[in-house]
Structure 1
Amino acid sequence: MSSEVKTLIQSTTLAENKSLFEKAKPHAELIAALLSGVLIAAGWILDKNELAAASITTYIIAFIIGGFAKAKEGIEETIANKELNVEMLMIFAAIGSCIIGYWTEGAILIFIFAVSGAMETYTMNKSHKEISALMELQPEQALRINDGFEEKIHVSELEIGDFILVKPGERIPSDGKIAKGHTTIDEAAITGESIPVSKEKEDAVFAGTVNLNGSITIEITKPNSETLFQKIILLVQSAQSEKSPSQLFIEKFEGTYVKVILTIVVLMMFLPHYLLGWSWMETFYRAMILLVVASPCALVASIMPATLSAISNGARHGILFKGGVHLENLSHLKAIAFDKTGTLTKGKPEVTDIIAADGVSGEEVLLVAASIESHSTHPLANAIVHYAKKTIDKAFITPERMEDVPGWGVKATIVEDEWKIGKASFVGLDAAENFSNGALEKMANQGKTVVFVQKNDEIAALIALQDVVREETKKAIDQLKNQGIYTIMLTGDSQKTGKAIANEAHLDDFIAECLPENKVEHLKKLKETHSNVAMVGDGINDAPALATANVGIAMGEGSDVALETADVVLMKNDLPRISDAIELSRRMNRIIKQNVVFSITVIMFLIASNFLQFVDLPFGVIAHEGSTILVILNSLRLLKS
């Protein structure tokens, strides 16, 4: 065999071994725990065959393999924090068991402690899996178009202004806007929404999303390091590292508790012998059992796995939490204040009514109005044009003459007819108020904006427009009210418009004519009456109000600005997800309470049983460490939808 072939075989073998090692690495703790269990079984068999020396040697190896990870963690944390922890209690208990000759019990303690540690690591890995999966979604290469030529480059080389080609089925490598083509995009990685979204020229697209059909050319608008995709990953990673108030309390409690338990254990090594007449062996034995059963392993594991699981669950469904504290606070909300525009409503006016004068065709008036307004950039004009395109299958007419009258409307001439489109005063206030039996007042009471169309000094029609309430708004508000939460809208609109929107959206109350700077004052008053208040806005102009509320919730819709201003971000403008987020928070807090109550109950029962000499070391080990495993498994339920 040639040296080249040998080298190739050796390199292939090394690569395969490295691959196996990488795959096994996340499961190292579990593998060590299981190997420890096998060695314990071997040690027990050797002991039964009266091979004491071999049995003890096997147990010692089991101790080292099974306990290394947790012992290393405990010693490092003790040195870093200068405070004893649960891991150190377990080490002391295992050593103490060996000192009094209970090698099997000490080894079982290490084994179950190692299994519970592996379970906790599994929970952490599972919660981080959502982020790992996200990170793997972003392509590493892009097809850049340069002077008509295509070249494959790494995404880190992309610059603002570059043009890239994305073919059907490919993931978009960086944020940008469509310069050419139209397609359907699967944005589930960003918004959590499974329904694809249609995209046309000038529409924004995001890294990590999938181009389903149609080749598109994208102009890069952000460097790869600043994409919305990267910001989401950093946000969730930050949230998972930020501890909730409950977790911080437990960690502070743990240090004090460990010192108290060690003090009691030391006293128990001597006092029962003199006060209760126990033998020295029994006294030391009971002290070791106390060291095991009084350790707050399950209590310490009650919160963090549950919090991480809930944050991961939310991220998978397009609900991003900036930390455990905000997730925990959501369950305590008593009231939610909503911005109107872009939150409860679609954020842009739509035509709701067209009332034509007697003998006048509404379709013809709409066609003329849209033909004239197509030359304007005003939001109301755009709404009329958009509505006409949807409802009339006719080409627009080109006006012969046009004149814009700022603040009032527009004049135009079409086939010798003089047309005016604008507010009531522009076409004559008296005539406008009397048109169609006072339709103007009726529409105003419904919170609608009215545009009049006049032909040769006669009002031909009125067109009513309104910023329409989102279809899902009513459902979302009803869900929140069913959860016992008071709902209120803060809007800069008039009283009439505010009342109409509030009634349509099923809100409890509204505050109209509310300027952005006034929202903060109203939120402070709400906090005085309801203690815990959330603010829901678009994350752009509501930053002061979002910061003032106990929990700021931003409607994301792909906005990286929302990621920077709120505590909770809904990556799709889907209001019912607020209710889902609150329910997730309540589920998490329920599970945490279950864990805490269960773990404390088990500890108290085992301590009492030990003092009454009812519990032996093997049962104490199994009951105590088993409770830790059950607590972690209970927390894992939050990963489910």
Structure 2
Amino acid sequence: MILLRKWIEHRQLLLALASGILIVIAWALELSASPAFLTVSIFIIAYLIGGFYKAKEGIEEFINERKFSVEILMILAAIGAATIGYWMEGAILIFIFALSGALETYTMNKSHQEISALMNLQPEEATLLKDGMEKTVAVSELRIGDLVRVKPGERISTDGVIFTGRTTIDESALTGESLPISKQVDEEVFTGTVNLSGMIDVSVTKPAEETLFQKIITLVQSAKDEKSPSQLTIEKFEGPYVKVVLIFVTLMMLLPYFFLGWSWHESFYRAMVLLVVASPCALVASVMPATLSAISNGARQGILFKGGVHLEQLAHIKAIALDKTGTITNGTPVVTNVYFHPVFNENDLLYAICAIENQSSHPLAKAIVTYCKQQGIEPVKPDFIENKSGWGIIGTVDGEGWKIGKPDFFSFEKEEAFQEIAAGMSDAGQTLVFAGKENQDEVIAVFAIEDTIRDVAIEAIKSMKNEGITAYMITGDHEKTAKKIASEVELDGYSANCLPEEKVIEIEKLKKQFQKVAMVGDGINDAPALARANIGIAMGAGSDAAIETADIVLVKNDLAKITKAIQLSKRLNRIVMQNIIFSIAVILLLIVGNFMQHVSLPLGVIGHEGSTILVILNGLRLLKN
């Protein structure tokens, strides 16, 4: 069975090699003066074995699409060589052409292996916890809210959050990050990653068909089918070019014979050489193998391109607009500063505030509860709670009334110290939450809360600038916060207080100034701007709307990957240009040499097919980081 799979996978290469062996045998028989029919018979078998796949491909394309291709040129050239007695040259042409075709197929298979490798990492079964009992079920049967047990050494079978336990997880299959990551309760885990140490129970947050893992597979598969502008141009050019070559080959047969005094044999021979050397095989192979290699390289590093067109265009980006929340910042507010009235006991205040804020789902309330827990305070159930929409929350803890909320929720006339402290915190771009006694309308605590900058943001933006790209922030946050963030990460500019439609306007302004602009975001409100930018880049942990709209997805929200993607795009464009220039130069050189009668058929075959193999190998370099 294994041998059969290997044969199916490499059959094109094996048939090409078999053709080469038969050519050697026929050549040896020719040298030993064996009967001509025996030698010719072996050459014919070599023709049929080596040329089967390419001939089939060319004939099917001609029948189905009425399109002339390079395969048709090679078939005609081999047949033409045989008709004038150049069996060896024709067979070598078939052999090298088949070998380059097998190499191109290998390149395609190599790039598709990235998908196969991903799919092999996707578990098909999960250990479901129900009523305290473990039950093995198909992953497709899992529903949101189910608890799944993952033991050390097992692959995680679902996207979810850790319900109980703590562990370290190998996420290299998704992100390319080699170092394991520590995870504990309430932290996210992803399908296909490996639980290395502790046993954990995971609460399912997404059905199997919507997991990040499945999105990666879908995106990479679709990227393989989308062709870059360079590839489309070459494919559009191929058909007319082949027709022109056939016209010139016909003229090469007739004009030298009638007007230059060449013999019919020489004219026909030179026409066959022209048929070989003018074929655009190397030109056709200049783009696709390189593009697929680059897409596969990106997928391995956690950069998902939705097609070669986006990969090719990324190198031309002159400015990048970034959303703030979840892109430059972590997207999770934290308490950065606290001021308590000196008369009151700090722990008593936190005890009451934590109990009340724990009943709210507001992100700022969650930040305060987290801070309280860090101080060793666990939330208790309050006696009474009432939300004051747009203002804050009031509640009673142990019979004492409290209120927590915006500055306007309180009177500051008797609290000048708090006014000064609040003004200082506000100037620093922080959001303020006040807490105090309800019946006295007295402020006794101020919490300064802000969204912290992601560790990688400063270095990532610096590396973008090193690539000659302008970094700009577009955010819905207020001016002070935007200014503070822009200063800390050294952005070239920013726009604040932007609604989704205003973000689109800002993108249009940047496009007028820089022509080619990318947008990076993660939320539903970023989707219109992602669509309007030349290249939309979404964070993998962002909203489905952002991921669906974007052209590129960063699996692990790693801004540093943007620079890597740009560098990969530049490498691709450089290698494609090398391939195109080289292949055209070889074709012109061989055509001129043939007309001057300096290029023999074997040399033409080697020069033409050798250049094809070289451009494919050059494209394969993009598989390496």
TM-score for both structures, normalised by structure 2: 0.92
Instruction: Give the match's secondary structure for 2:316.
Output: coil
The answer on whether the counterparts of 1:349 and 1:467 sit within 8 Å (CA) in structure 2 is: yes
RMSD: 2.8
Distance 2:60 2:192 in 1: 39
Instruction: Give the match's secondary structure for 2:471.
Output: strand
Distance 1:408 1:57 in 2: 93
Post-superposition CA distance 1:70-123 (Å, at most 9, x none) = 111111111121011001111111111111111111111111111101110110
Structure 1 pair 83–406 and aligned structure 2 pair: CA distance change class (3 A): closer
Which residue of the partner structure matches residue 303 of structure 2?
319
Superposition pairs for residues 134-533 of structure 1, below 5 Å?
134-145=118-129, 149-158=133-142, 163-200=147-184, 203-220=187-204, 222-355=206-339, 369-370=353-354, 373-390=357-374, 392-393=375-376, 406-409=389-392, 421-429=404-412, 434-435=416-417, 438-453=420-435, 460=444, 462-533=446-517
Structure 1 pair 151–72 and aligned structure 2 pair: CA distance change class (3 A): same
The answer on whether the counterparts of 2:126 and 2:138 sit within 8 Å (CA) in structure 1 is: yes
Instruction: Give the match's secondary structure for 2:37.
Output: helix
Instruction: State yes or no: 1:610 paired with 2:594.
Output: yes
Structure 1 pair 610–304 and aligned structure 2 pair: CA distance change class (3 A): same
The answer on whether the counterparts of 1:192 and 1:571 sit within 8 Å (CA) in structure 2 is: no
2:9 to 26, 34, 53: 26
Which residue of the partner structure matches residue 13 of structure 1?
none
Post-superposition CA distance 1:260-292 (Å, at most 9, x none) = 011000000011122222221111111111111
Q: State the Cα distance separating 1:130 from its structure 2 match.
A: 0.5
Which residue of the partner structure matches residue 9 of structure 1?
none
Structure 1 pair 276–377 and aligned structure 2 pair: CA distance change class (3 A): same
The letter of the residue matching 1:445 is D
Distance 1:44 1:162 in 2: 70
The letter of the residue matching 2:491 is L
The letter of the residue matching 1:607 is I
The number of aligned residues is 622
Which residue of the partner structure matches residue 62 of structure 2?
78
Post-superposition CA distance 1:557-586 (Å, at most 9, x none) = 276554322111111111111111111111
Superposition pairs for residues 101-112 of structure 1, below 5 Å?
101-112=85-96
The letter of the residue matching 2:426 is A
The letter of the residue matching 1:320 is L
Report the more deviating stretch, 344-353 or 283-292: 344-353
Distance 2:448 2:85 in 1: 89
Instruction: Give the match's secondary structure for 2:10.
Output: helix
1:35 to 18, 23, 30: 18
Structure 1 pair 416–82 and aligned structure 2 pair: CA distance change class (3 A): closer
Instruction: Give the match's secondary structure for 1:542.
Output: helix
The letter of the residue matching 1:446 is A
Which residue of the partner structure matches residue 50 of structure 1?
33
The letter of the residue matching 1:42 is I
The letter of the residue matching 2:24 is A
Structure 1 pair 351–405 and aligned structure 2 pair: CA distance change class (3 A): same
Q: State the Cα distance separating 1:463 from its structure 2 match.
A: 2.8
2:48 to 36, 61, 64: 64
What is the percent sequence identity of the aligned residues?
59
Instruction: Give the match's secondary structure for 1:267.
Output: helix
Instruction: State yes or no: 1:546 paired with 2:530.
Output: yes
Tell me, which stretches of 5 or more residues in structure 2 are unaligned?
none
Distance 1:236 1:474 in 2: 29
Instruction: Give the match's secondary structure for 1:311.
Output: helix
The answer on whether the counterparts of 1:539 and 1:565 sit within 8 Å (CA) in structure 2 is: no
Structure 1 pair 362–277 and aligned structure 2 pair: CA distance change class (3 A): farther
Post-superposition CA distance 1:484-506 (Å, at most 9, x none) = 11221111222222211111121
Distance 1:413 1:152 in 2: 47
Q: State the Cα distance separating 1:629 from its structure 2 match.
A: 0.6
The answer on whether the counterparts of 2:372 and 2:378 sit within 8 Å (CA) in structure 1 is: no
Which residue of the partner structure matches residue 600 of structure 1?
584
Instruction: Give the match's secondary structure for 2:450.
Output: strand
Q: State the Cα distance separating 1:165 from its structure 2 match.
A: 3.3
Structure 1 pair 435–216 and aligned structure 2 pair: CA distance change class (3 A): same
Distance 1:139 1:561 in 2: 26
The answer on whether the counterparts of 1:162 and 1:219 sit within 8 Å (CA) in structure 2 is: yes
Instruction: Give the match's secondary structure for 1:50.
Output: coil
Structure 1 pair 361–488 and aligned structure 2 pair: CA distance change class (3 A): farther
Which residue of the partner structure matches residue 6 of structure 1?
none
Structure 1 pair 430–477 and aligned structure 2 pair: CA distance change class (3 A): farther
The letter of the residue matching 2:593 is S
Distance 1:142 1:428 in 2: 57
Instruction: Give the match's secondary structure for 2:599.
Output: coil
Q: State the Cα distance separating 1:610 from its structure 2 match.
A: 1.0
The letter of the residue matching 2:328 is L
TM-score for both structures, normalised by structure 1: 0.89
Tell me, which stretches of 5 or more residues in structure 1 are unaligned?
1-17
The answer on whether the counterparts of 1:539 and 1:566 sit within 8 Å (CA) in structure 2 is: no
Report the more deviating stretch, 621-630 or 491-500: 491-500
The answer on whether the counterparts of 2:171 and 2:194 sit within 8 Å (CA) in structure 1 is: yes
Instruction: Give the match's secondary structure for 1:213.
Output: coil
Q: State the Cα distance separating 1:470 from its structure 2 match.
A: 1.2
The letter of the residue matching 1:185 is I
Instruction: Give the match's secondary structure for 2:505.
Output: helix
Instruction: State yes or no: 1:584 paired with 2:577.
Output: no
Q: State the Cα distance separating 1:57 from its structure 2 match.
A: 1.4
Distance 2:207 2:350 in 1: 45
The letter of the residue matching 2:91 is A
Q: State the Cα distance separating 1:205 from its structure 2 match.
A: 3.8
Structure 1 pair 193–561 and aligned structure 2 pair: CA distance change class (3 A): farther
